[in-house]
Amino acid sequence: MGLFDQIVSAVANPQQQASTNQLGSILGVAQQLTGNQGLDSNATQAVMSLLGGHVRSALQNTQANQGSDQVHSLVNQFAGLGSNPQAVSTLFPGGAQQQVSENIAQQTGLNAGMIQSMLPVLVPLVLNLLQSGSAQQGVQSGGGNPVLNTFLDADRDGDVDMGDVMGMAGQFLNQQR
Q: What is the CA radius of gyration of the chain?
A: 15
CA angle 101-159-129, nearest 5°?
Answer: 65
Structure confidence at residue 143 (pLDDT) = 61
Q: What is the pTM of this model?
A: 0.87
110 Cβ partners below 8 Å, 6+ apart? 39, 43, 47, 104
Provide φ and ψ at 34, rounded to 5°: -70, -30
DSSP secondary structure letters along 34-56: HHHTT--HHHHHHHHHHHHHHHH
- Provide the CB-side half-sphere exposure for 171 (13 A, CA): 8
Gap between the Cα atoms of 66 and 155, Å rounded: 21
State the virtual CA torsion across 175, 173, 13, 70 in degrees, nearest 10.
150
Closest CA to 105 of 26, 43, 31, 169: 43
What does the pLDDT profile of the chain (177 residues) look like in tens digits?
578 788 888 888 888 888 889 989 998 999 899 889 999 888 988 999 899 999 999 999 999 999 989 999 999 999 999 999 999 999 999 899 999 999 999 999 999 999 999 999 999 999 999 999 888 876 665 667 888 888 887 555 545 566 666 777 777 777 666
Calculate the alpha carbon distances from 115 to 78, 155, 165 in Å. Answer: 19, 29, 20
End-to-end alpha carbon distance in the chain: 25
- Burial track 55-66 (b if 16+ CB lie within 10 A, e otherwise): bbebbeebbeee
Structure confidence at residue 158 (pLDDT) = 47
- Provide the CB-side half-sphere exposure for 86 (13 A, CA): 7
